[in-house]
């Protein structure tokens, strides 16, 4: 039984790494396109990113099923594969995030800070119109403390597997395919 579990996870890692690399490269290219176009924090970039992630995880799971599992896969194995792919993607994108925000485009951090301040004021007044400026400043100070390239990269490592789990719960419904020999 132990060898089966080890073989399964080893068999899953290489394809997950390959598909995570593909997804990551596409996400990085999109990031660079928006940066070079002068709009690194565009809402459209977020939507395109989600489409790439969902499409990438779906494609990866289908290809894993067809190329590595003889055309059959259980719901759980599909979900596990998507989460492993998401974890690897998260690590790659975290490295990119740090390099991008710390070295390539540190000015984007200023844009993020300005948006944070703007959103903090809007949210605070929407929730509590009587909030004091000191309270808003405390909220902003707390938010700005975590807005550093290293912390954002670490949050990326956590965020992608969570996204993969959530998207994988749905994707795996459509990807699973029972082997009729074991039914």
**171-183 residue pLDDT tens:** 999 999 998 887 6
Per-residue pLDDT at 1 exceeds 50: no
Place of tokens 């989600």: 50
81: CB partners within 8 A, 6+ apart? 12, 15, 16, 60, 61, 64, 73
> How many beta carbons lie within 10 A of that of residue 19, not counting itself?
23
- With pLDDT > 70 as the criterion, what percentage of the chain qualifies? 94
pTM of the model: 0.86
Are the CB atoms for 147 and 112 separated by under 8 Å? yes
φ/ψ (deg, to 5) at 70: 65, 25
Per-residue pLDDT at 8 exceeds 80: no
Q: How confident is the model at residue 104 (pLDDT cuts 50, 70, 90)?
A: very high
pLDDT at 6: 41
Q: Which of 139, 113, 144, 145 is nearest to 124 (CA)?
A: 139
CA 11 from chain centre, in angstroms, equals 23
φ/ψ (deg, to 5) at 156: -65, -40
Residue 107 parent element (H or E): helix 107-127
Per-residue pLDDT at 47 exceeds 80: yes
Q: Which of 40, 168, 163 is nearest to 176 (CA)?
A: 168
Mean pLDDT, residues 147-163 taken together: 94
């Amino acid at each position: 039984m132990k060898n089966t579990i080890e073989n399964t996870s080893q068999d899953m890692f290489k394809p997950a790494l390959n598909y995570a690399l593909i997804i990551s490269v596409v996400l990085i290219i999109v990031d660079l396109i928006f940066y070079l176009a002068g709009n690194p924090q565009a809402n459209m970039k977020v939507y395109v990113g989600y489409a790439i992630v969902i499409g990438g995880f779906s494609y990866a799971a289908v290809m894993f099923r067809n190329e590595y599992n003889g055309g059959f896969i259980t719901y759980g194995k599909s979900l596990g594969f998507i989460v492993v792919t998401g974890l690897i993607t998260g690590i790659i994108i975290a490295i990119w995030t740090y390099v991008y925000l710390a070295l390539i485009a540190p000015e984007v951090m200023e844009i993020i800070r300005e948006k944070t301040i703007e959103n903090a004021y809007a949210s605070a007044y929407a929730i509590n119109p009587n909030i004091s400026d000191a309270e808003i400043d405390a909220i902003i100070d707390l938010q700005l403390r975590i807005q550093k390239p290293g912390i954002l990269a670490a949050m990326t490592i956590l965020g992608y597997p969570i996204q993969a789990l959530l998207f994988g719960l749905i994707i795996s419904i459509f990807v699973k395919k029972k082997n009729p020999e074991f039914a």
